Structure 1
């Protein structure tokens, strides 16, 4: 069998030269540098002492056939080792890197030729070190083309009276020898598929890291100067960063004139005033939605192939396919970024009751729902006024059934194709008839509520159903569940955990069942303490009847019963004690399932 990669070695100086001349693309140098300064120092120390620093891994993009004949050579992309190479460029070449706020900063590594050998001779530059003549404040000066060793060493010795000139000269020579240190480089064949490259990466990478398809795609996009890939990549990065930190806009505006002059600036600026965190996408989300929407495919590995010009039928690579693919991806990203599209979609989630990011866990379900929203907006068979309702139904169905957990790409790919073939509504009816049968509502859904996890789909949809119905929290008449969903401290136990531990020695897995949870004001929870349900529900009922004060603010029995029904509390709660706990859980799961079913069918 033919080897899928080759191994060679390059000096540090050669690697930096290949990158400087564009022979190896390292687009991530224009994204935030994730290493802290001490890691850069440690890398310099390893290179200085000749310790191994791990392999670099490159992958050559396939050669592409050009219109009219001829072939364009694919660019070699660094797919593992970006942080190490960026650290070397920062410390040795003196190039600035971007911090988390996308600000260009220098990382200066200092070197002490007089160190005693017990510790590293390198340090991250500080004001104190900068004033100490024993330290070379910035080692990058030694690697500059016009560096003069004789003058530098002479000046250093003069500034450090009594030092050993031979030792100083020897150690500075050792430092400069870093440029000649050999780095292993694994070059993966151009005809390897993305999956094969990923498998090679995982097997070689000692940390067992996973190389994501989105990372591949972002590297491919950023390395393609012909199609404006780097600016597109930057727009995606900025959009995602702004979604989390709107104040970042001022940094972009002040420091990136090139981006501000691009078409993308106007498309992301609206995020400067956005404070909604229901759906804060990362670059993986942007790429997936844009790809699904514009290419009608679900497997992100196909995006990298298409951007490379892959002709899946002819099994070769063509420039016109790469041209079309970049244009389609550009259009998809722009539609994703659109203020009207994004806000209308998140409004659909919010109006369905998903008013907090705390009850949105499946990015796969959200991403597919956004793709569906963009697709249905262009479907002439579906009235524009109905689009959000269909998106809500599909999203809730996919969350309840865990449709996009596990091998989600394959399922997304199949769903996209089926929707294209059948039309959305016929396919929706087919899926819901199959997955949301009577058996699901009566048996499977209650079983899904046998869990302690508040991140399970059934619980989150239940909470969304309460938010959409504007339900009040337990024992209150105006304090809405929707207002406190994001505050975990307001989820309390109907059968108090202290009570269950004292009475039946209940373990955590039993008293922390989600069917034992309800939203409750802290003052009420404190007043309830370790009381049994029979006792404190009885206090609430009797206080209303006798008009005595109590921990709640419901003033009549009709409102109390309505409140209990909204919170899925069984009617027999007034007589329940520890021995009834398991029966209580079973009854409440059925009530919660009924509430979810009614909620879904009313969307």
Structure 2
């Protein structure tokens, strides 16, 4: 039976030196530090008082056979304990950390050797600690190899009259001695598969935390300096951060000269443009997944880690040339994924299908697969641009309506990519469409799925896209379309007003907030409708058609009213309905909404 792991103890001093020399690779040091400064203070306090800080977990990089037949053993990759190590590097060794804005920052921990039992001996440094004679403002000074206690202690006592070296020296020595504290490391075998590493991690980790495969992949990427790993990882991180901070490009060009001179810099630049209004905002996991799927035609990120490690799946060995080739392919894929033209063309494809803003897109995984598919189809010389656009629009709507990538997404995406390779996309698409979008789906399944009160349900979002795509007008208006109502001046309101339903016995929010009771309406018109029943406010509309004087909305022609009700999937006899008709109204409208979505889908 193979040994899955070994447990080793290292002094804190040796451990930090291993990190300094990259014997133990800690890629998280180059990414935003998520701990609060107080957590760093608490960690030092625990070490000072002899409390355990938990095991660290590393995974030995697989032994890779080089082109010359030699075996190269890799260093250790830290997969659990990044925050603790980063905190120690900051507090003990005085290293800077990267904050959430990607700015370098020092976290200084102050120490008061005169603290009594009921006082805190450690604190996050403030100006008050710097001015105080009792506090040592930065403990990293004491941890430095050149620290001389015979000079420091007398000077400290001189600043604090009445304090003798005998009182201070033991406390300072106790702090310095934390460098000799033994820290346990669970070293996982380099023969373990990625899935096995994940399973062991979950079993060992007391919190039962899942090992994120994207984090695993990012760690693997950044640990390979010889293969441009650090630049690749920064490119992914910076690209995604630029979506959140439009000023980020200016900052990064001044702080990271190596990256700003790389070919990846231009991608961060275009994303930072304030004029961009994105409906797809990916994080690093999304970028990795899209790039991997579009280039390698695989979906399991654990396979990406294996390939970047040089895994030969056929012979179950690790080869240097496979690792090198995998990094080259990943770089090529990243250039395609982050390319401004590709990215914006994909977004425009969805926007032209009615998904005009990010609020209408529910599943990031569905977006990821659709973008990867877009990049794959772009390489297909047998398809023109218009065909690609139509197929991507249909595929996105189909997979959204059927929740294709919600349960076991990696398995489903992996199978889809394999079948697309084997059969070609068009044949595969026709098979899926025939199986998933039968008459039963449109007439029964979708109608049932729309029995929900979630205004952000995928079905209602597709309905909104259908309204936008068909340029349908808002309820009771012929001058403003749904897109404008959703974007600027309108809102979602109830056809049967909420207060009206509550007064008539429908006091459960799951009843009055059904999406089949939602419509897009001017707020002014909604105020004018108030708590009136449909048969009452629709009577006003009928009267204004006769008088040609508007009271609610701007419809003054009977033909316009019929068209408006039809565009909004509302029964033509709404004028005859009150609370007693509400449940039947919901049934009818769900069917009408499903019919509109069906018509919309086949119009793409």
Shared fold (TM-score greater than 0.5)?
yes
Describe the shift of the 1:11–1:485 C-alpha distance in structure 2 as closer, same or farther (beyond 3 A).
Answer: farther
Using the alignment, how far apart are the partners of 1:479 and 1:9 within structure 2?
A: 70
Using the alignment, how far apart are the partners of 1:341 and 1:601 within structure 2?
A: 25
Deviations 1:539-581 (CA, angstroms, capped at 9, x unpaired): 2222222233313122322222222211111112111111111
Cross-structure match for 1:114: 114
Using the alignment, how far apart are the partners of 2:295 and 2:158 within structure 1?
A: 67
SS of residue paired to 2:77: strand
- The reply to whether residue 93 of structure 1 matches residue 70 of structure 2 is no
Cross-structure match for 1:249: 249
Q: Report if aligned partners of 2:59, 2:189 keep a CA contact under 8 Å in 1.
A: yes
SS of residue paired to 1:246: coil
Cross-structure match for 1:148: 148
Q: Report if aligned partners of 1:11, 1:183 keep a CA contact under 8 Å in 2.
A: yes
Using the alignment, how far apart are the partners of 1:165 and 1:528 within structure 2?
A: 83
Instruction: Name whichever of 546-555 and 309-318 sits farther off.
Output: 546-555
SS of residue paired to 1:520: strand
Instruction: Name whichever of 488-497 and 347-356 sits farther off.
Output: 488-497
Q: Report if aligned partners of 2:485, 2:521 keep a CA contact under 8 Å in 1.
A: no
Cross-structure match for 2:496: 495
Describe the shift of the 1:516–1:119 C-alpha distance in structure 2 as closer, same or farther (beyond 3 A).
Answer: farther
User: Shift of the alpha carbon at 1:488?
Assistant: 12
Instruction: Name whichever of 159-168 and 176-185 sits farther off.
Output: 159-168
Cross-structure match for 2:529: 528
Cross-structure match for 1:271: 271
Cross-structure match for 1:392: 393
- The reply to whether residue 8 of structure 1 matches residue 13 of structure 2 is no
Using the alignment, how far apart are the partners of 2:72 and 2:421 within structure 1?
A: 35
User: Shift of the alpha carbon at 1:224?
Assistant: 0.6
Using the alignment, how far apart are the partners of 1:358 and 1:267 within structure 2?
A: 24
User: Shift of the alpha carbon at 1:236?
Assistant: 0.3
- The reply to whether residue 136 of structure 1 matches residue 136 of structure 2 is yes
Cross-structure match for 2:296: 295
User: Shift of the alpha carbon at 1:529?
Assistant: 2.1
SS of residue paired to 1:273: coil
Q: Report if aligned partners of 2:550, 2:556 keep a CA contact under 8 Å in 1.
A: no
- What is the TM-score normalised by the length of structure 1? 0.97
- The reply to whether residue 42 of structure 1 matches residue 56 of structure 2 is no
The residue correspondences of 1:268-347 to structure 2 (distance < 5 A) are 268-274=268-274, 275-347=276-348
User: Shift of the alpha carbon at 1:421?
Assistant: 1.0
Cross-structure match for 1:63: 63
Q: Report if aligned partners of 1:357, 1:486 keep a CA contact under 8 Å in 2.
A: no
Instruction: Name whichever of 478-487 and 2-11 sits farther off.
Output: 478-487
Instruction: Name whichever of 462-471 and 390-399 sits farther off.
Output: 462-471
Instruction: Name whichever of 549-558 and 58-67 sits farther off.
Output: 549-558
The residue correspondences of 1:354-503 to structure 2 (distance < 5 A) are 354-485=355-486, 490-503=491-504
The residue correspondences of 1:63-82 to structure 2 (distance < 5 A) are 63-82=63-82
Q: Report if aligned partners of 2:484, 2:490 keep a CA contact under 8 Å in 1.
A: no
Cross-structure match for 2:194: 194
Q: Report if aligned partners of 1:356, 1:485 keep a CA contact under 8 Å in 2.
A: no
SS of residue paired to 1:59: strand
Using the alignment, how far apart are the partners of 1:277 and 1:464 within structure 2?
A: 16
Structure 2: which 5+ residue stretches go unaligned?
none
Q: Report if aligned partners of 1:491, 1:520 keep a CA contact under 8 Å in 2.
A: yes
Cross-structure match for 2:603: 602
Using the alignment, how far apart are the partners of 2:480 and 2:153 within structure 1?
A: 75
Using the alignment, how far apart are the partners of 1:486 and 1:220 within structure 2?
A: 42
Q: Report if aligned partners of 1:244, 1:277 keep a CA contact under 8 Å in 2.
A: no
The residue correspondences of 1:190-229 to structure 2 (distance < 5 A) are 190-229=190-229
Q: Report if aligned partners of 1:306, 1:321 keep a CA contact under 8 Å in 2.
A: yes
- The reply to whether residue 540 of structure 1 matches residue 541 of structure 2 is yes
Q: Report if aligned partners of 1:217, 1:303 keep a CA contact under 8 Å in 2.
A: yes
Q: Report if aligned partners of 2:497, 2:530 keep a CA contact under 8 Å in 1.
A: yes
User: Shift of the alpha carbon at 1:349?
Assistant: 0.8
Describe the shift of the 1:99–1:153 C-alpha distance in structure 2 as closer, same or farther (beyond 3 A).
Answer: same
Q: Report if aligned partners of 1:358, 1:485 keep a CA contact under 8 Å in 2.
A: no
Two-structure CA RMSD over aligned residues (Å): 1.5
Using the alignment, how far apart are the partners of 1:358 and 1:308 within structure 2?
A: 38
Using the alignment, how far apart are the partners of 2:481 and 2:129 within structure 1?
A: 58
Using the alignment, how far apart are the partners of 1:487 and 1:94 within structure 2?
A: 51
Using the alignment, how far apart are the partners of 1:485 and 1:208 within structure 2?
A: 42
Instruction: Name whichever of 133-142 and 470-479 sits farther off.
Output: 470-479
Using the alignment, how far apart are the partners of 2:401 and 2:119 within structure 1?
A: 57
SS of residue paired to 1:451: coil
Instruction: Name whichever of 528-537 and 146-155 sits farther off.
Output: 528-537
User: Shift of the alpha carbon at 1:487?
Assistant: 7.7
SS of residue paired to 1:8: strand
Using the alignment, how far apart are the partners of 1:276 and 1:65 within structure 2?
A: 47
Using the alignment, how far apart are the partners of 1:194 and 1:537 within structure 2?
A: 63
Describe the shift of the 1:125–1:262 C-alpha distance in structure 2 as closer, same or farther (beyond 3 A).
Answer: same
Q: Report if aligned partners of 1:90, 1:97 keep a CA contact under 8 Å in 2.
A: yes
Using the alignment, how far apart are the partners of 1:114 and 1:14 within structure 2?
A: 29
Deviations 1:484-512 (CA, angstroms, capped at 9, x unpaired): 43689822221122111111143111111
SS of residue paired to 2:250: helix
- The reply to whether residue 352 of structure 1 matches residue 353 of structure 2 is yes
Instruction: Name whichever of 540-549 and 338-347 sits farther off.
Output: 540-549
Using the alignment, how far apart are the partners of 1:437 and 1:190 within structure 2?
A: 49
Q: Report if aligned partners of 1:515, 1:588 keep a CA contact under 8 Å in 2.
A: yes
Describe the shift of the 1:485–1:199 C-alpha distance in structure 2 as closer, same or farther (beyond 3 A).
Answer: farther
Using the alignment, how far apart are the partners of 1:455 and 1:140 within structure 2?
A: 51
SS of residue paired to 1:58: strand
SS of residue paired to 2:34: coil
Deviations 1:374-393 (CA, angstroms, capped at 9, x unpaired): 11111011112321111111
Aligned length: 603
User: Shift of the alpha carbon at 1:311?
Assistant: 0.6
SS of residue paired to 1:590: helix
User: Shift of the alpha carbon at 1:164?
Assistant: 4.6
- The reply to whether residue 28 of structure 1 matches residue 18 of structure 2 is no
The residue correspondences of 1:499-510 to structure 2 (distance < 5 A) are 499-510=500-511
